[in-house]
Amino acid sequence: RRNNVRFIAINNGIDSKDQNTLEFVPFINIMSEWYARDISKKVKTGIKTKGASGKPVATEAPYGYIKDPNNKDYWIVDKEAAEVVKLIFRLFMDGKNRNQIAVYLKEKEILTPTFYMKQQDRGTAKSRKLNEENRYNWNKATITHILKRQEYCGDVVNFKTEKHYKDKRNHYVDKDKWQIIPDVHEPIIDRATYENVQRILKNAPVKRPNGDGEIHALSGLMYCKDCGTKMHIRTIHKNNKVQHVTYCSEYAKGKAKHPKC
């Protein structure tokens, strides 16, 4: 009413202009919410039953795999994408950080997972309009996502997210609630390598204020002498010692234009 909007529900005989039709609106709202909850519960039960049997509940196989044409509940290795996954793990184990890996893949003009999936006419990417300028724009987040995917060991990992019956959006759940079924499909990465990568990632320095919310006194005041971009500061805790390391922000993002960065 405040926005001068008229609401009409034909099936329920409701018209916001007719006060006589509004008496049962609260009751109808309650029944509608109960119905939505009930449907959501039944759908979740079906998905959980499928997941508990060891079948992946994801609608699409992750980058590096494709669904078996003869069995949609089983993944087989996508050789072309799997080679990129192996390359990412190898570069990381060789000492390159995630930003450096992103730069390397961009220089080699390797398609990002999204563009690769679109090219293969798979997943949600096939119907999306993408900016062609981003075909090779790998970033740290994508590299991190690939390095953390336990599915590359051959495991099925179900229930990492769940949908709320109201907003239908995926919400991440705690890892202890995931259901992990080991050795279901062919691995791309051996388990020892995957576990080593997880240890390195866990001990990687985090770029944020410390536990007390403190920010370094020189934060925002230092600039790269070669390209003039602001310097970032990392706080590293190692062997009970605190170290502060500075680096060029453009270099970290793989956008450095100066050869010395």
Say how far apart CA 246 and CA 248 lie, in whole Å: 7
Residue 238: per-residue pLDDT: 76
Q: Is the pLDDT score of 138 beyond 80?
A: yes
Q: Higher pLDDT residue, 151 or 8?
A: 151
Q: Tell me the per-residue pLDDT of 191-221, one tens digit each, with 9 for 90 and over.
A: 999 999 999 998 775 444 544 455 666 766 7
Q: pLDDT band at residue 76, thresholds of 50, 70 and 90?
A: very high
Pick 115 or 5 by higher pLDDT: 115
Question: pLDDT grade, residue 248 (50/70/90)?
Answer: confident
Q: What is the pTM of this model?
A: 0.61
Say what percent of the chain tops pLDDT 70. 65
Higher pLDDT, 27 or 158: 158
Supply the CATH classification number for the domain 55-203: 3.90.1750
More confident residue, 104 or 210: 104
- Under the banding of pLDDT at 50, 70 and 90, the label for residue 8 is low
Mean pLDDT of 172-185: 84
- Can you tell me the distance from the alpha carbon of 248 to that of 254, in angstroms, rounded to the nearest whole number? 10
Given a cut of 60, whether residue 245 has pLDDT beyond it is yes
